[in-house]
Amino acid sequence: MPEGHTIHRLAQDYAARLTGEVAVSSPQGKFSDAAALLDGSALRTADAHGKHLFLGFGALTDPDPEPTSWVHVHLGLFGKVALGDAPAPPPTDTVRLRLANATSYADLRGPTTCALITDAEKAALHARLGPDPLRPDADPAAAYARVRRSRTTIAALLMDQKVIAGVGNVYRAEVLFRHRIDPYRAGRDVTPGEWDAIWADLAALMREGVRNNRIDTVRPEHTPEAMGRPPRVDDHGGEVYVYRRAGQACHLCGGAVRTAGLAARNLFWCPACQTH
């Protein structure tokens, strides 16, 4: 379930459960060489920027808490991490990376990236990414500077990790609905006020996503209970307005939610509500 909130939550969970000496292995074998290097060293920190996760390692005996190398993880579309209490179950042959200590384990499966990198390589990745609403150092004006001079649709810009890091297909669809914005509007036609509202909303929604480990976007006054409709759970585990609800009735106007391909992904929106 990888949008930015998932990755920030993982960074918190890795740090809370696995800081200090760890056993590192790659049951699947694709990360064996690096795992052997890291085995028995210390996890120092876990950092997230957008959908990228960085696990910082140092020598167990090194008094300097700064990591000397990083494992760069990107879950891609299919990647997942299973975290749990020790003892770890027998590893299956799809586990790319297992970290384990006396109390916890974390199994990484199906990532698009799992690589050992240096500080310099990590810095280059940060430089390539746009501001992340979940990071305290994020500058929304830097994102807007790109949005305002682009003829590309706002729907595509929100998915561009160079523009804003961490937003994926769910948050993109939902934030545009919440602000009644036509997804096909050009970035250059988004006003500063609209961008400020979008950014603030994303920051709040994604923070809640980190806390609950799922995406919920429906305002309290629009929940099925509040609207006098039967309760409902979306099959991705959260409560949303339009994501993956093509053909179903819009919670607000009752009209049909639409879907269309946009940059190789499925866009969802309500044409009746999203007219701005």
How far is 199 from 243, CA to CA, in rounded Å?
A: 19
Binding-site member from 72, 80, 179, 222 for DNA (CB under 7 A)? 80
**3-class SS at 228?**
coil
Paired with 111 in beta bridges are none
Query: Is 2 in the active site?
Result: yes
Binding-site member from 19, 23, 45, 74 for DNA (CB under 7 A)? 74
Task: Write the CA distances from 178 to 38, 64, 90, 119, 183, integer angstroms.
Answer: 45, 46, 44, 39, 12
Query: Is 109 in the active site?
Result: no
Question: What is the total count of residues that contact DNA (CB under 7 A)?
Answer: 34
Query: Is 63 in the active site?
Result: no
For DNA, the closer of residues 6 and 41 by Cβ is 6
For DNA, the closer of residues 94 and 191 by Cβ is 94
**Marked catalytic residue, from 109, 148, 244, 265:** 265
Question: Do residues 161 and 193 lie in contact, with contact meaning Cβ atoms separated by under 8 Å?
Answer: no
How far is 273 from 267, CA to CA, in rounded Å?
A: 15
DSSP string covering 85-100? ESSPPPPPTTEEEEEE
In whole angstroms, how close is the CB of 68 to DNA at the nearest point?
24
Query: Is 140 in the active site?
Result: no
**Marked catalytic residue, from 9, 51, 122, 135:** 51
From the list 92-100, 131-139, 145-153, 196-204, the region that binds DNA by CB under 7 A is: 92-100
Binding-site member from 58, 168, 183, 187 for DNA (CB under 7 A)? 168
CA angle 131, 134, 139 (to 5 degrees): 35
Six token digits for residue 195 = 């961008």
**How many Cα atoms sit within 13 Å of 228 on the Cβ side?**
0
Binding-site member from 18, 170, 210, 273 for DNA (CB under 7 A)? 170
- 96 binding DNA? (CB under 7 A): yes
Positions touching DNA (CB under 7 A) are: 1-3, 6, 28, 50-51, 74-80, 92, 94, 96, 109-110, 112, 159, 161, 168-170, 215, 235-237, 244, 263-266
Q: Which residues are catalytic?
A: 2-3, 51, 265
